[in-house]
Amino acid sequence: MSVMEAPEAPAALVAGEEDAMAQLFAEIRARRDEFGRQRFVPKEFIAQLKKLGVYRAATPKCFGGTGLAPADFLRLVEKISEADGSVGWVASFGSASVYLAALPKATQARLYAGSPDLTFAGGLFPIQPATQVDGGWMVDGTWKFASGCKGADMLGVGIGAAVPGQPGAKPRTAVLPPEQVEIVDNWDVMGLAGTGSHDLKVTQQFVPDEWTFIRGGVPTIDEPLYRYPTIAYAAQVLGVVNLGIARAAIDEINRMSGGRVAITGAPKLADRSYVRIEVAKAEAMLRSARAFLYDATGEVWHTILAGDPVTPEQVSLLRLTAVEIARAGNEVVQNMFGLAGTTAIYSHHPLQRCLRDAAVVKQHAFLGEGIYDGAGAVTLGVPPMPGYL
């Protein structure tokens, strides 16, 4: 499937909800400073994202979810990120139910019994040792970067076995209700401030076996979405935030280009050839990265729907799309900030937010330079770094 064959609009738009989407995006723009100041997106706004279908997108169809195709979900997160990167980042975790598909099916039935619109947030690292006891695990420790934790219905933490004779046991995720977890309010960062990626602290809580799963483990639900590469998808939904932020940055330069003459008397931005050249280059870079993302994603989805296995080469290509869109988006934002000149140095300027948010997206471990090394290794037929595939 080529990018030209893929639908351009998010699924919600196809369903005839254009007006509701436009109103929601307007509210995000109006409240994004508020979200940044309080350092999280509140539950009452998460409820609006639920109405949009963000948090049932990865819920199994058998439990009332939509099982949304990855490309459609990525477009939805991209569009939300145009309005605000932090809200887009929090919305991206609507894909987190692909992890939960590794829970026992009976556990999932209980999880979604109240509603398919489930918000799940996790502080997975650093992996903390847990003691295996009869019927489950005693969990204790502190975990970092739990984006969206203040609006979550369930929380997950990463644990490893602290059992004699099992030093190499694979890490797993323990799922707990919010009342069993303390949120350590310490998210104080330069960008994506509204994501509320605080620490999680658990003190000697018992978690039954059936409420734990191996991260990226074999799903117990047989639906197409859960055959899409889990870790690659987790990286893509984060990287796509930078496509939305970059589009917002180009749009901001467009708004500025015909505005007032500079205080120095220099021509308007649109009348400067170097500005026109850089905007054209930015448009080409952004669209190229975007096409790469949706073309590779569509190809893998087509493979899955055809009933064929996803190859290591395809998984690697998906990992590469994620790091490339994060890099390209960040570069576009930096270039647009440069074009804006002195005007953009003021803290209230929209390009300030874009600059900080895009830089933080690029810093995520899933989107670092090392991913290019892994992708290059697979392309050249040599073993990639451990954990890459």
pLDDT of residue 10: 52
* pLDDT surpassing 70 at residue 260: no
Assign domain 228-380 to its CATH superfamily. Answer: Butyryl-CoA Dehydrogenase, subunit A, domain 3 (1.20.140.10)
Fold agreement between 3-100 and 228-380: no
Among 2.40.110.10, 3.30.465.10, 2.40.50.140, 3.40.50.1820, what is the CATH number of 120-214?
2.40.110.10
pLDDT of residue 20: 82
Please state, rounded to an integer, the average pLDDT across all residues of the chain: 92
pLDDT digits (tens, 9 = 90+) for 115-139: 999 999 999 999 999 999 999 999 9
pLDDT of residue 103: 97
* pLDDT surpassing 70 at residue 261: no
* pLDDT (average), residues 213-229: 93
Task: Tell me which fold the domain 3-100 belongs to.
Answer: Butyryl-Coa Dehydrogenase, subunit A; domain 1 (1.10.540)
pLDDT of residue 169: 53
**pTM, 2 dp:** 0.92
pLDDT of residue 258: 77
pLDDT of residue 54: 97
* pLDDT surpassing 60 at residue 292: yes
pLDDT of residue 154: 98
* pLDDT (average), residues 185-191: 96
pLDDT digits (tens, 9 = 90+) for 307-355: 999 999 999 999 999 999 999 999 999 999 999 999 999 999 999 999 9
DSSP string, 214-263: ETT---SS-SGGGGS-HHHHHHHHHHHHHHHHHHHHHHHHHHHHTSPPPT
pLDDT of residue 65: 97
**What residue segments make up the domains of the chain, in order of their start?**
3-100, 120-214, 228-380
d(CA 384, CA 288): 26
* pLDDT surpassing 70 at residue 264: no
* pLDDT surpassing 60 at residue 13: no
* pLDDT (average), residues 352-375: 96
pLDDT of residue 254: 95
* pLDDT surpassing 50 at residue 4: no
d(CA 381, CA 389): 13
* pLDDT surpassing 90 at residue 60: yes
